[in-house]
Amino acid sequence: MNKIMSVNGATLRDSLISAANMVSENRSQLNEINVFPVPDGDTGANLSVTLGAAKRQLGELGDGCTVGAAAQCAAAATLRGSRGNSGAILALLFRGFAKGLTDCEEIDGVTLAEALGTRQ
């Protein structure tokens, strides 16, 4: 029997905070891949600042937060804290992700895929 795993708001919150930490720790490598729109070497720094804004706001959510609340918090924070073109694009991705998770308490893999736009 297969057990379907689900993700709650606290797990999503913690995952996004962890992702922000990883981007920050590896920003110099991300600066080297700088692909859009010109080779100015700041993609990693801009993504780090943008996700840092989300990290700060997500850190204020309690363990009882829903997936929808965590996604909306990240979307709003990345929009307000976006820096550069890469930050603005990332904020738009988070906005779409949050829209797909509106009113979700918890999610499974199918719901996650749908929110990421990988399922038609």
The 10s digit of each residue's pLDDT in 65-107 is: 999 999 999 999 999 999 988 899 999 999 999 999 999 999 9
Q: Within 10 Å of residue 8's Cβ, how many Cβ atoms? A: 18
Using alpha carbons, list the distances in angstroms from residue 61 to 13, 27, 68, 119: 8, 26, 12, 29
- Counting beta carbons within 10 angstroms of the beta carbon of residue 106, is it exposed (0 to 12), middle (13 to 18) or buried (19 or more)? middle
Give the span between the Cα atoms of 94 and 9, in whole angstroms.
15
* pLDDT tens per residue across span 5-40: 899 999 999 999 999 999 999 998 888 886 656 677
